[in-house]
Structure 1
């Protein structure tokens, strides 16, 4: 084929025809000018041709056209066969689509019919659904309202009780507090304009609360009568504070019951005694008025703390009152029950002692008076000024008047028989008896703290101060510190060791006498200090003397150890420190 092309080209060149004069020439030139490497279709065609054109001969070249046409026919037949299958598949799809279209049309028509028929039902369903949602919301609101403004049936049963004998439990107070909370919450209903609902709720809660408080009141009365009341009684009484009438009735019941127990216990202590006979009955001491009165008052005084503890526990949670004042008032009311038997027996002892003969009659009355005054002041610290305190005060006044009357009578009787002193000027028997009576009266004054007010305390203190000063001066003079004292209190500017009164030898002599005083402090006491009958006065005098000695020793110790006073080896002069001396004297 290439050689033929060259031959044709040669012929055209030989003829030397003008360019573009022959259409075939133009086509050939165009073909010759075409660059095959840039023509993709031609390159692909040549590649396809190479698959079956393998023998480049003249015959093969002559049959090439037919071969190509033959292959083209074969390809067309294959295409027709494939297209026939595609057509068949498309026809099948068309049939299915047509059937599906018929079904869809049928379904659409049926759907339209159904929609037209169910439109009312759908509308009704939607309306019911909206109504259901609204009702659900209303139910939620109603449940919340019930929780906030209503009691459950179980709570109503708890607060009202299934019967009159139903016990009070901790749950009762929880429900009672809830009723109060609901009553407080009704103000929000009033603010939102629900006046009728708020009033209805308030009325319901008032009914439930009144029933609960009435039941609580009955339960409290029963607990007040019980010897072992429930721990919930304190909380119950606190809840009854909003009803002052019920609260006061419960307190009165408590007082009445405790009065009965207290007076029975007092009478048993008087006549029966303790369990097993110990302690013995107080009535057995009736022959000894002082012990008899003292035992009765001691029993009352010991019984009041238990009553106070019980009352404190009763009012512990009451917030609308002062628990301390209420406790004192309640104890005072409970203690009234022992006033009558106590007054009767003590008055009997006072009158009986008044009729007795003998020198100790006024002394016994004075001791009883002091005893009554002591317990009067002691019991007044536990209770208010009630009937018991008034009774003790009246008995004290009675016994004191009887004492003064008996003392005047006995002194007048003795004064009528006073004899002049003898040659020895010794006291006559009448004077001795009078002084003995006075001594017993003064000694008996120590029974009660306030009994000292019966005497002129200012004179006693003045005399005691004078005696103390004399005792201190005597001790300082005996120990040789009297001449040192002015220099010790006001040291001069010159060294004190050079002063004759404060030389080391004088200080050594003082230390020797101080050791003797520490070994036997009573040795340097003035003789007339031993005539003091009161042990407290003697102790006060000894204490004042010891304090004065300690003060002097500390001042001297500081001066001796001060380098400005030029004492050599101060530790050997005063070996003891002031604290040691204070300990030894104490």
Structure 2
């Protein structure tokens, strides 16, 4: 700032005197602007800093001379630097000229090479075209050869394989199944060829493979039929080829069903012959029977029928186990094969088919068909046994036995088996015979018995019926029929074997007087209840009998009560009090009643005293022919209890009458009688309960 001021002063002093005044104002303004500019300048600016550092690096001193020469020195230095740059670029231009000459030479050489190459290409073009054409032809031929080899390998069966597939002289072995699998694959793949442009090959292969497959399945069908003729189902190790063949043959549902039909016919004949041999001991092939014939050692009809049913059950189990190995051990293979066969032959599918093949159901149907002959023979022999015996118990035992085996066969063959129809028919036949025999027996009994026994015990015909019923209940209890609907099943038996005889007892009861009629009825019902009490399936009938017994017991209790009232004389007092009420006027009138006159009341009191010592013994004597001693005691006790209640009623009325007459004074005391009824009838209800306890 001093230097700036000095320069300004010096400049002002150098002006003329005339101009100094004018300049003074302008100079002051310029100086102020200059000072403001200097003061507003930021010396932290990078450009200023670089300038200062450059000046410092050049060693420039801040003098007046230096400031005057600074611009000239800088311009001189710039001119010098530009000269050096021009010199350097001259050298670069010289080098570029030499490079341009080299590039021109290279371009000339390239043009010469292109000319030579164009001439060579023109000469070799026909040869290359011919070579490319030959290579393309070779490639096409190789592709065709590969296709031909693939077609021959995949779609053509050799003569040797064809013989294995169709010749009946060769066995059905692993090689047969391998060729058959390949033929099925060819048949399937040939359908793919039908989708190509050339369908002739596909049609030819499809037709040829169809003929081969049909011939193969015919060979397999005939082979299985021949194997079935010699197949031993008793051998647990059945040939695996048979199981595999059945699974494969299932792809032709028609042949598979025909094979099952022929097998079922063969097995039906074999089982029928075996059953006939087991019955009689004679066989069509003159083979030896290891066990004794059933008809020779089963003399009892029930055992005879049981042995036949047991043989049929054993044969069914063996047949089922053997056929399970053939049809079930392979899982769902047969089902899938039949499904595939129906898809290839849709005309075999019936309308509304929901399930293509159920192995268990098919097994049950096949076993049922195998047992058809056995079932017919079993039905004939069993019906002969049922119809040739008049014993109702035997017929019912046979019916229960058949019912037991019927439930067993349901578990083995299902509910839709035709064999169950035979069991149902035999069961109905046995029950029909049972009902007929029972009705004949009831008709015979009803015409013989007209009077009950003197001791009022159950009559002989009821005892016989109950003995028969005990046998029938035991037979029913040991049968499997008690599992399903036990009560309903046995109620039909009771309606035939018990109800008619109880009805006969009721007819005999009507001819008796009380209490004999009630005692006789209770004795008969107790006997029937004792037979049925141990069986849960007769619970409903037992409850019904118990209700009837309770009704008769109530009647006997009423009879005993009437006896106690009459023998004690209490009946007269009760009849007299029945017309009274609890009103004061009615109670006051009690002493005026004839039964409560002194002489009559004293007579009743004396009769009561004479009755009480032996009252229970005398009452029990009337129903002593009741066979249940406890029931005799309970009935008498119940009558005594009700008698005590009646006595308490009479006593309460007497005490009430005495209470109302206690304060009444008589005008003539000498002629007055006893003032209290209690004095004439001194017994208390407590004494009565003690004496009758």
Distance 2:169 2:317 in 1: 33
Residue matched to 2:267: 258
Does 2:412 correspond to 1:382? yes
Does 2:366 correspond to 1:330? yes
Q: Kindly indicate whether the alpha-carbon contact (under 8 Å) linking 1:273 and 1:282 is maintained by their aligned counterparts in 2.
A: no
Matches within 5 A, 1:419-458: 419-450=450-481, 452=486, 453-456=488-491
Distance 1:412 1:132 in 2: 111
Residue matched to 1:342: 378
Residue matched to 2:222: 218
Residue matched to 2:563: none
Give the SS at the match of 2:389: helix
Residue matched to 1:292: 304
Does 2:261 correspond to 1:270? no
Q: Kindly indicate whether the alpha-carbon contact (under 8 Å) linking 2:191 and 2:206 is maintained by their aligned counterparts in 1.
A: no
Does 2:255 correspond to 1:246? yes
Residue matched to 1:145: 151
Match of 1:310 among 317, 322, 329: 322
Q: CA 1:240–1:367 in structure 2 vs 1: closer, same or farther (change >3 Å)?
A: same
Task: Give 1:132 deviation, angstroms.
Answer: 6.2
Tell me the alpha carbon deviations over residues 321-371 of structure 1, each in whole angstroms, 9 at most, x when there is no partner.
1111110111111110112221111111111113xxxxxx11110000111
Distance 1:458 1:215 in 2: 60
Q: Kindly indicate whether the alpha-carbon contact (under 8 Å) linking 1:282 and 1:296 is maintained by their aligned counterparts in 2.
A: yes
Matches within 5 A, 1:33-44: none
Tell me the alpha carbon deviations over residues 183-227 of structure 1, each in whole angstroms, 9 at most, x when there is no partner.
221233233322111111101100111110111111111111112
Distance 1:246 1:378 in 2: 33
Distance 1:276 1:332 in 2: 27
Does 2:539 correspond to 1:460? yes
Match of 1:365 among 379, 382, 395: 395
Q: CA 1:445–1:459 in structure 2 vs 1: closer, same or farther (change >3 Å)?
A: closer
Q: CA 1:277–1:186 in structure 2 vs 1: closer, same or farther (change >3 Å)?
A: closer
Residue matched to 2:203: 199
Residue matched to 1:525: none
Q: Kindly indicate whether the alpha-carbon contact (under 8 Å) linking 2:398 and 2:430 is maintained by their aligned counterparts in 1.
A: yes
Tell me the alpha carbon deviations over residues 238-279 of structure 1, each in whole angstroms, 9 at most, x when there is no partner.
222332221111001110111111111111111229998653
Does 2:234 correspond to 1:234? no
Q: Kindly indicate whether the alpha-carbon contact (under 8 Å) linking 1:369 and 1:399 is maintained by their aligned counterparts in 2.
A: yes
Q: Kindly indicate whether the alpha-carbon contact (under 8 Å) linking 1:273 and 1:279 is maintained by their aligned counterparts in 2.
A: no
Bigger shift: residues 266-275 or 409-418: 266-275
* Structure 1 unaligned spans of 5+: 1-118, 355-360, 468-527, 529-586
Tell me the alpha carbon deviations over residues 445-486 of structure 1, each in whole angstroms, 9 at most, x when there is no partner.
12422253433578616969x99xxxxxxxxxxxxxxxxxxx
Q: CA 1:423–1:463 in structure 2 vs 1: closer, same or farther (change >3 Å)?
A: closer
Match of 1:208 among 206, 212, 220: 212
* Count of aligned pairs between the two proteins: 341
Q: CA 1:426–1:294 in structure 2 vs 1: closer, same or farther (change >3 Å)?
A: same
Distance 1:441 1:278 in 2: 36
* Structure 2 unaligned spans of 5+: 1-125, 233-237, 339-356, 492-535, 547-627, 629-693
Give the SS at the match of 2:230: coil
Task: Give 1:157 deviation, angstroms.
Answer: 2.0
Distance 2:315 2:537 in 1: 38
Q: Kindly indicate whether the alpha-carbon contact (under 8 Å) linking 1:379 and 1:389 is maintained by their aligned counterparts in 2.
A: yes
Q: Kindly indicate whether the alpha-carbon contact (under 8 Å) linking 2:476 and 2:490 is maintained by their aligned counterparts in 1.
A: no
Distance 2:445 2:243 in 1: 64
Scaled by the length of structure 1, what TM-score is found?
A: 0.53
Distance 2:169 2:417 in 1: 37
Task: Give 1:442 deviation, angstroms.
Answer: 1.8
Q: CA 1:429–1:278 in structure 2 vs 1: closer, same or farther (change >3 Å)?
A: farther
Give the SS at the match of 1:382: helix
Give the SS at the match of 2:439: helix
Q: Kindly indicate whether the alpha-carbon contact (under 8 Å) linking 1:363 and 1:444 is maintained by their aligned counterparts in 2.
A: no
Residue matched to 2:529: none
Q: CA 1:124–1:153 in structure 2 vs 1: closer, same or farther (change >3 Å)?
A: farther
Q: Kindly indicate whether the alpha-carbon contact (under 8 Å) linking 1:415 and 1:430 is maintained by their aligned counterparts in 2.
A: no
Task: Give 1:425 deviation, angstroms.
Answer: 2.4
Give the SS at the match of 2:182: helix
Task: Give 1:129 deviation, angstroms.
Answer: 8.3
Distance 2:437 2:477 in 1: 20
Task: Give 1:427 deviation, angstroms.
Answer: 3.0
Match of 1:280 among 279, 292, 311: 292
Q: Kindly indicate whether the alpha-carbon contact (under 8 Å) linking 2:277 and 2:289 is maintained by their aligned counterparts in 1.
A: no
Distance 1:153 1:351 in 2: 69
